[in-house]
Amino acid sequence: MDTGEAMIDRTLLERFAAEIVSCLVRYAGLTPAEAKHLYQESFVARDLEGSPEPFLHETAYYWAMFLVTGDPYAEQYPASEDPDQPGERLPAPITAVLRTIYEEGAALLSGDRKSPGSNRPAAMPTADMEQFVFESDLQLPEAPSGHLEARPAVAFLTLAPLLRPEEDCPRLGTPFSNWLAYYRDRFDELRKGSVYWWRRNGEPGGADRLYNAYRHLLALALGPQARLGWDAVVAHALPYKVPHRFPHAILSKAAHTYSPDTLIILLEAGVKVVVTIGFDAANEFAYLLGEPRSERKTREVTGPYQAFYEGHSFLWVPAAYPFRTSKQEQVLIAGAIREAL
């Protein structure tokens, strides 16, 4: 039985590979020899047999076009680098950390456990990582959202961003500068006065409840002129987008690997107040700052607390998710932010 299943799997993979080559000939105008060579020299051919799930998640046509032009669904993230070069306007330490996050994310989605040249261990056991990649929809990790070069005073921090499989966002193959530009400009255009998320077909997915709650808190704290993306940025202890109901213990462990990167980016950008949203983010933040478990903060609004990390001094405001709180609690969170500044 096992032998038969293996033969069926191999037949399926061979057929899928042949379809990719066929699409390269039919839609990219390559000769059969050119198409076969392009496919055989690609990471798709290298990794398809060992870790097929991420590749079978898309069609053969998708991967054919990916090999020729990059992500065929992401016309706003062209294969060429963004001429704006957003990374060049950031301090070198920030750009270096962001590039590490980007390269590790691309390597993970390509089937590697860590990026080439990285000495730190994988953040998850192999089995959990395979499940994570299979459900990832090839979405790259998130950079902190907003204009880091504008030296924002406030950062809202959750444990991890939620994965929306249909969301139009940078995926594997997006160049580094385009990835940065997407998250830099994320909140610059509003729809009907709100932050929206968008589907890959260009349709609006709906108003983003959490990000619009941040805008409301920011207005309460700093006044109606305050802008999310400029006066405050959004970040995550773990930048990888989390599939629905992914094991919580695995995410917490993975956050221990990546939260130092996130905090260094924020502090190097000049953030003065970090607002952790929810108990999980507060618990991870307390772990990062070396607080004993018995002293870690609860989900209630508390602070601001004086905090120190890697030579930086800043203030920490632990808070509950703002859309789950009363108006009185939102005023308390805003007051704590205002007091910290």
Indicate whether 153 and 233 sit together in one domain: yes
Question: Are 220 and 313 in a shared domain?
Answer: yes
Residues 46, 99, single domain; the answer is no
30 lies in some domain? yes
Residues 189 and 180: their CA atoms lie apart, in Å, by 16
Domain boundaries, position 19: 2-69
For 232-272, the pLDDT digits (tens) are 999 999 998 887 777 777 777 788 888 999 999 999 999 99
How many domains, in total, are found in the chain? 2
Flag whether pLDDT at 73 surpasses 80: no
C-alpha span between 222 and 220 (Å, rounded): 6
Q: 193-242 pLDDT, tens per residue?
A: 899 999 988 888 899 999 999 999 999 999 989 999 999 999 999 998 88
pLDDT the model gives residue 30: 80
- For residue 272, what pLDDT is reported? 94
Q: How far apart are CA 286 and CA 295, in angstroms?
A: 8
Using 50, 70 and 90 to split pLDDT, how confident is the model at 82?
Answer: very low
Tell me the per-residue pLDDT of 85-129, one tens digit each, with 9 for 90 and over. Answer: 555 578 788 888 899 889 888 888 877 654 444 445 555 555 566
> Has residue 137 been placed in a domain?
yes
Check whether residue 259 and residue 306 sit in a common domain: yes
Does any domain span residue 184? yes
Q: Both tokens of residue 91?
A: 């301090």
Average pLDDT, the chain: 80
In a domain, 75, yes or no: no
Tell me if 10 is assigned to some domain: yes
- Give yes or no: residues 56 and 179 share one domain: no
Same domain, 62 and 123: no
Residue 65 has pLDDT above 80, yes or no: no
> Helix/strand/coil (H, E, C) string of the chain?
CHHHHHHHHHHHHHHHHHHHHHHHHHHHCCCHHHHHHHHHCCHHHHHHCCCCHHHHCCCHHHHHHHHHHCCCCCCCCCCCCCCCCHHHHCCHHHHHHHHHHHHHHHHHHCCCCCCCCCCCCCCCCHHHHHHHHHHCCCECCCCCECCHHHCCCEEEEECCCECCCCECCCECCCCHHHHHHHHHCCCCCCECCECEEEECCCCEEEECHHHHHHHHHHHHHHCCCCCECCCEEEEECCCCCECCCCCHHHHHHHHHHHHHHHHHHHHHCCCCEEEEECHHHHHHHHHHCCCCHHHCCCCCCCCCEEEEECCEEEEEEEECCHHHCCHHHHHHHHHHHHHHC
Percent above pLDDT 90 for the chain: 28
How far, rounded to the nearest angstrom, does the alpha carbon of residue 48 sit from its chain's CA centroid?
24
Residues 185 and 274 in one domain: yes
Q: What is the CATH number of the domain that holds 213?
A: 3.40.470.10
Task: Report the pLDDT value the prediction gives residue 79, as an integer from 0 to 100.
Answer: 38
Interior/surface letters 100-117, b for 16+ CB within 10 angstroms, e for the rest: bbbbbbbbbbbbbeebee
Lowest mean pLDDT among 9-23, 284-298, 308-322: 284-298
Report the predicted TM-score, pTM, of the whole model to 2 decimal places.
0.72
Q: Are residues 106 and 21 in the same domain?
A: no
135 and 27 within one domain: no
Of 17, 23, 106, 14, nearest to 62 (Cα)?
A: 23
Rounded Cα distance, 304 and 57, in Å: 45
115 and 245 in a common domain: yes
CA angle (293 as vertex; 291, 296 as ends), nearest 5: 65
Asked if residue 77 is part of any domain, the answer here is: no
Q: Is residue 76 one of the residues assigned to a domain?
A: no
The residue that leads in pLDDT, 67 or 186, is 186
Q: Please state, as a whole number, how many other Cβ atoms lie within 10 Å of the Cβ of residue 31.
A: 10
In the chain, pLDDT over 70 holds for what percent of residues? 78
144/238 same-domain check? yes
The tokens describing 136, both together, are 């990832």
Around Cβ 327, how many Cβ atoms within 10 Å? 9
Confidence of residue 44 (pLDDT cuts 50, 70, 90): confident
Whether residue 189 is found in the same domain as residue 238 = yes
| Residue 47 maps to a domain | yes
Sort 122 into a burial class: Cβ within 10 Å, 0-12 / 13-18 / 19+: middle
